[in-house]
Every structure is written in structure tokens, then in C-alpha cells.
A = this chain, B = another copy of it.
């Protein structure tokens, strides 16, 4: 019997990264690791689902980084289709249900990792349960959607929501031969951008043949006598649909943690310290989509469901639970995506985030190209930069453009982390050669314009 037992709730990115890292730190004789996963899969890339649905990724198996068997080979006692239903914090035990048999039992823990992820927002609309209405949060969801698509090849698809999942699913459905309409509530698609940048996405999606309908609140899903979806209904109109994909975001899955009295933040996510320990609980960690993270730019907590954070959290939890020491300082809010050939990126604060944080700012927007203008295939890129008005500190960057645009946001992500001013950014020694950049990288051009805006505002 091992000296200690660690229980992990949730077998995806954060939970299994934590388990794997803890195992690397400590062998089975020192630490027993038990993990509960209610679904059919472990350690998979939910971010890859749109590309699997769209056909770019041919096989579901490709999205699975590590199978249950592979985890078990590393001496992790992984129990699939087993749902944790209660955390007894003072008793240091977790009650779990075998979903096949319904049998329940308690498992004691010395250390606990809560990695219960997020659940898709699924409004209680009439008809929301119709056949042909799909979320795309899990591999099971993706498989169900693919089963529907295989039955309705080439019809009309309506995507509800125009965030990352919405626009990526629009691309996927377009590739599958569907006529695609994206219905969303915002002024422009990609509400994670300022509306002026979202407008560029809107225009590009139009050109791709994807219809976007903004300012539209869905009121019902119209269903046929056969129980299948017929249309998406808004206050003003009705959009015929053979298939509907819900991409209206996610919220932290913290029902269990909340019931156990663990501390939740304003967005419903678990609150942790920098070592990913749940506040006030020395032997309970949490990470991934079920926690709130510190935004290093605004100083506020946010909920950001993103696989790359979940993996980092898991790695840090595993290091700490294994007896080492590691911290997750926080995020700056970087996200990248694409719709067909259009790349979309953001980091830091939007205008409304800055307003909310009480920061006065200036903004600068420039149009440039991804390579030297004379290089073949040079294509447009628009960069918007926000800087604090008084200090010139970088607050955020948004980029919309063709190939080579999105990952340029990393320049700003590092600069935000370092607390750089836009003035300092103007002389950054960024890679230059004609195939990769104009002689002034678009980010540098934006920084120069932001410096001018800061100076003008100071006069």
C-alpha cells in the first residue's frame, strides 16, 4: 500500500496532466493515484473537434493524446464511466458512481485534484432537445454531430454563437458542404475582439459565403413532428436548419465543488492560489476549465476555458502534489483562431475590458502585410493596439489577417507579461526577412502609432 493517495476528479487535460506529472515526481510505492472520469475518453483535444468534424482530421483517435490504457500503464488507477458525485472535504473522501451499474462507493484521499472542466451554456429554449441540435464540447458531442451530418449531407446548418467555437464550426460545416448561417447576439462576430476588429471578421466571413446575423437572440428551436430540428427562431426571423450547432460558450463545471463548500469566484469558477491550491485548502488543487485565473493585465480574475491553460495547470498541480514547487502566475488573455484562411488573434484587454478595469487608454490601428509588400503572396494584416494613456504601458493587441497573422500576437503576450510600454516595443528586435515580414513588422508599426497616440493624448 502506498504512503499516500491522490484522487483526481476529471480525466481530461488538467486532471490527467496532474496525474502524469505527479507520477513522474513520485513512484507508485509513495503515491497511489486514482482518477475518475465520467465520459468515454481521456486526455483529448476538445479544441480539435472542429477540424475532425470538418474532415481535416480524419480519425477521432488522432485527438486522443493518451488512452485510458496508456495512463494505467503508468500506474494511474483510472476509472472510466465513473462519476464523482460528492466531495466530503472534512472526511477527505470522494463518493463516486459507476455509471454502468449505478453502484456507489467512497474513496479516501490525502490529496485531491478537482479538474471537472466546463459545461456548455445550453439555454432552456423550447426545442433545444430536438434531434440535430448539437453541442461540441466533448468527443461524444462531436461523434453525435458527425452521425447527424452523415445523415443530412449538404443541407442547411445554423451555428448559434460567433465566438471561437462558432466560427470554427462555421468553417467545418462549410467544408462539409453545408450552407452556413451564424446567428449571434453581438454587434459583430468574435465578441472577444473590439467591434471594429470584429467587423473585419464579418466582412471576411461574408466573402467566404458564411452568412452572419448579429444582434439576434434565439427564442426557440422549431422542431418537426419527427422530433428533428427544422429551424432556429429569433425575435425577428426564422432560419431553416437541418442541423444546429451550439457554440455559445461554456461555464465552469463546479456543482460538485460548490456543494462541498469550496470557494467559487464571480464567474462560478474555483479560486486557487498561484500553486493552484484551492484557497484555504492545503491538500486540494484545482485546474483547467473549472477554475478562474488571474488576469495579469487587469488584476482581476477571469474564466478562460482553454486547453493550453488546462495543461499548464495540470503540470503545476502534479509538480506541487508530487512534492515539488511550481506556480502559475496568471494569464494575459491570449487566444488565436481561424475561419478558413482568416486568422484571428487577441491578447490583453479590449476597449471594454480597459473601461471596466478603470484604465484610460489610447488605441492605434494599422494595416500592413504578413511579408514584405513585394514578396509573392503578401497579404493584409490589421493590428490594433491599446496602451494606457498616462504611462504608455501596453494593454492589449488584436490581429485579423491572413497567414502568419495570428501567432504574431505572441510578441504582445510576452510584452504584456513583462509590462512593457509601447515605446519600448517600437525598437524590439523582431525577426525580419522579406518572406516573413515587412522591414517594420506590423506589430512595430502599431507600436509606433500607439506611441504617437499616447503623446497626442498627453498634450
18 further A-B contacts with Cβ under 8 Å, apart from A164-B433, A414-B414, are A45-B434, A47-B372, A47-B432, A47-B434, A51-B374, A51-B375, A57-B374, A57-B376, A306-B432, A331-B429, A333-B429, A336-B432, A337-B433, A407-B437, A410-B431, A411-B414, A413-B431, A417-B429
- Top 6 nearest A-B pairs by Cβ distance? A418-B418, A336-B431, A308-B432, A62-B374, A414-B414, A334-B429
Pair A417/B411 contact, Cβ less than 8 Å: no
Can you list 7 A-B pairs with a CB-CB distance of less than 8 A? A306-B432, A307-B432, A308-B439, A332-B429, A408-B410, A414-B428, A418-B418
Q: How far is the CA of A335 from the CA of B429 in the complex (A)?
A: 9
A window 179-221: CB within 8 A of B: none
Pair A406/B45 contact, Cβ less than 8 Å: no
Q: Does A347 contact B (CB under 8 A)?
A: yes
Pair A338/B430 contact, Cβ less than 8 Å: no
State which of B48, B329, B375 has its C-beta within 8 Å of the C-beta of A48: B375
Pair B345/A431 contact, Cβ less than 8 Å: yes
Q: How far is the CA of A328 from the CA of B424 in the complex (A)?
A: 9
Pair A439/B311 contact, Cβ less than 8 Å: yes
Q: Does A435 contact B (CB under 8 A)?
A: yes
Q: Does A321 contact B (CB under 8 A)?
A: no
| Number of residues of chain A lying within 8 A (CB) of chain B | 64
Q: How far is the CA of A333 from the CA of B311 in the complex (A)?
A: 32
| Residue on B nearest A52 in the bound complex, by CB | B374
Q: Does A367 contact B (CB under 8 A)?
A: no
Given the complex, which residues of B lie within 8 Å of A63, measured CB to CB?
A: 374
Pair B432/A374 contact, Cβ less than 8 Å: no
Binary CB contact string for chain A from 306 to 327 against chain B (1 if under 8 A, 0 otherwise) = 1111011000100000000001
Q: Does A69 contact B (CB under 8 A)?
A: no
Q: How far is the CA of A223 from the CA of B114 in the complex (A)?
A: 76
On whether A13 and B431 interact (CB within 8 A), knowing A374-B48, A408-B407, A414-B415, the answer reads no
Pair A406/B432 contact, Cβ less than 8 Å: no
Given the complex, which residues of B lie within 8 Å of A347, measured CB to CB?
A: 429, 431
Given the complex, which residues of B lie within 8 Å of A312, measured CB to CB?
A: 426-427
Pair B407/A417 contact, Cβ less than 8 Å: no
Given the complex, which residues of B lie within 8 Å of A441, measured CB to CB?
A: 308, 410
Pair B433/A338 contact, Cβ less than 8 Å: yes
Pair A418/B407 contact, Cβ less than 8 Å: no
Q: How far is the CA of A436 from the CA of B57 in the complex (A)?
A: 14
Q: Does A409 contact B (CB under 8 A)?
A: yes
State which of B45, B307, B426 has its C-beta within 8 Å of the C-beta of A374: B45
Rounded to whole Å, the gap between the CB of A125 and the closest CB of chain B is 29
Rounded to whole Å, the gap between the CB of A56 and the closest CB of chain B is 5
Q: How far is the CA of A408 from the CA of B407 in the complex (A)?
A: 8
Q: Does A239 contact B (CB under 8 A)?
A: no
| Residue on B nearest A313 in the bound complex, by CB | B427
Pair A434/B51 contact, Cβ less than 8 Å: yes
Given the complex, which residues of B lie within 8 Å of A407, measured CB to CB?
A: 404, 407-408, 431, 436-437
Given the complex, which residues of B lie within 8 Å of A379, measured CB to CB?
A: none
Pair A406/B376 contact, Cβ less than 8 Å: no
Binary CB contact string for chain A from 373 to 412 against chain B (1 if under 8 A, 0 otherwise) = 0111000000000000000000000000000101111110
Q: Does A420 contact B (CB under 8 A)?
A: yes
Q: Does A440 contact B (CB under 8 A)?
A: yes
Pair A375/B336 contact, Cβ less than 8 Å: no
Q: How far is the CA of A338 from the CA of B433 in the complex (A)?
A: 9
Pair B431/A334 contact, Cβ less than 8 Å: yes
Q: How far is the CA of A435 from the CA of B338 in the complex (A)?
A: 8
Q: How far is the CA of A311 from the CA of B372 in the complex (A)?
A: 14
Q: How far is the CA of A175 from the CA of B333 in the complex (A)?
A: 43
Rounded to whole Å, the gap between the CB of A278 and the closest CB of chain B is 19
